[in-house]
Amino acid sequence: MSFLTKLETLIQAAQRAEVLYQNSQGIISERKVSPKALCYTLEEGWQLIAYCHKREAERNFRLSRIKEVQALDEFFPPPSAVLYRYFKA
């Protein structure tokens, strides 16, 4: 299963995940995230919009930098109002 498909499933289920993410400096870190949406831009390709529990903030994660996705047995409230505020900002 591709990361894109796995993340779509997690978003639909409002299920948290652990991801291994490589930043722009090449450093890999483990992040616990609450995935909210996927978006695509011509400049950066596919991105995951998620609440990052490590940074305690909404973040964009490039799928090309995600090395691993592991579903957790944790769920969160669906993000409808949160996404509206995110895109309106």
Per DSSP, helices labelled H in the chain are: 3-13, 80-88
Q: Give the type of residue at 40.
A: Y
Determine the pLDDT at residue 21.
Answer: 97
Question: Is 27 in contact with 20 (CB distance < 8 Å)?
Answer: no
Single-letter residue type at 11: I
The CB density around residue 41, as the number of other CB atoms within 10 Å, is 10
Ordered structural domains, the chain, with CATH: 3-88 (2.30.30)
Tens of pLDDT, residue by residue over 53-69, are 999 999 999 999 999 99
Neighbours of 4 (CB within 10 A): 15
pLDDT of residue 78: 77
pLDDT per position as a tens digit, 3-37: 899 999 999 999 999 999 999 999 999 999 999 99
Q: Quick: pLDDT tens for 67-77.
A: 999 999 999 98
Residue 82 has pLDDT above 80, yes or no: no
List, for residues 41-54, the tens digit of each pLDDT value.
Answer: 999 999 999 999 99
Report how far residue 19's alpha carbon sits from residue 32's, in angstroms, rounded to the nearest whole number: 6
